[in-house]
Structure 1
């Protein structure tokens, strides 16, 4: 679930993206709340005059907190919709440890990685030439919004499941990022599972 807000450019509207799916959408408006559905599945909400009801600051992708989520849920309920918001508020950019690296069965330049992120093990398909087992790396978990605006989703790359992304400095929009392709390898000072960015 992702929240976008840009009062200067768009106005006092919160865009709550529940399922970033393309297609034909249906819209139902009740008061300041517009429910967006696709084939009777709720995929998002547009909430107008949102700053009159909840405290919302920032520009672009807004970090969801428990109080902001509760406020938005109340607005949706008060408008007469009964959808229950269910968001994973855990950090989306975390330190992972590459336990194994295997060659992708159907693509020469891709590797299949098993990565420990402390709370779970993730299988991620990665095309970086410098990734190796034994490295600590930055993982963008499913649901993360990259600085480019791209949302990380579960995917299948050439037939192999991939849950998340191993990040380069450039993809994380870090200063002095090298131009050549390759993931960011972290020092041993980083702890597996810790958030990469200060929350």
Structure 2
């Protein structure tokens, strides 16, 4: 689940993104200051728009991807209920952009530039991630954007399939992370080997 807030460009609207619509046509049902966004084909809820968000939740810290306090999360679920929606949101506070360790890396069988990695992201959790960077290799410490992450440019990370191979996240370059003085040359950011796997990696705005 991704919470996004940008008062300067969108206004006092909290965007709650709960699933990838995969390019399907969406429909919106609005009740008061709450709008539910779902797919037309199967009525799957993919997001919520919360208008006049600070009136409901109080001050929202940050811009872009933001975190709600436990109290704000409870207020949001109560507002959904009071508006007449049956759905409730489930909190997920696990970090989404973290240090990872590339345990293995092999060439993609149907691509001359993609690689398939098995990358540990925390406490033994390993994700298969397809990566197109020329400098990717086993044994690296890297930055991983897990499914449910929002990149500094607004890109949302969801599970996908690249040339027939499943991929559960993205191994990031310095430029994608909006780090200062990021090189223009294509390639993932390699971290010092003492970087702690699973630790949060701070990103630029």
Question: Scaled by the length of structure 2, what TM-score is found?
Answer: 0.90
Residue pair 1:145, 1:151 contacting (<8 A) in 2 also: yes
2:144 equivalent in structure 1: 139
How far off is 1:86 after superposition?
A: 2.2
1:30 equivalent in structure 2: 31
Give the aligned length.
198
2:108 equivalent in structure 1: 104
Residue pair 1:3, 1:62 contacting (<8 A) in 2 also: yes
Superposition pairs for residues 106-185 of structure 1, below 5 Å? 106-119=110-123, 120-185=125-190
Residue pair 2:159, 2:166 contacting (<8 A) in 1 also: yes
Aligned partner (choices 54, 77, 86) of residue 51 of structure 1: 54
2:88 equivalent in structure 1: 84
Unaligned runs of 5+ in 1: none
1:2 equivalent in structure 2: 2
Unaligned runs of 5+ in 2: none
State the SS of the aligned residue for 1:20.
Answer: coil
Q: 1 CA distance for matches of 2:153 and 2:189? A: 17
Residue pair 2:61, 2:67 contacting (<8 A) in 1 also: no
Question: Scaled by the length of structure 1, what TM-score is found?
Answer: 0.92
Q: 1:8 to 1:184 in 2, by over 3 A?
A: closer
Residue pair 1:98, 1:116 contacting (<8 A) in 2 also: yes
Q: 1 CA distance for matches of 2:159 and 2:150? A: 13
Q: What RMSD, in angstroms, separates the aligned Cα atoms of the two structures?
A: 1.6
Superposition pairs for residues 54-65 of structure 1, below 5 Å? 54-55=57-58, 56-65=60-69
Residue pair 1:93, 1:144 contacting (<8 A) in 2 also: yes
How far off is 1:53 after superposition?
A: 1.6
State the SS of the aligned residue for 2:100.
Answer: strand
2:194 equivalent in structure 1: 189
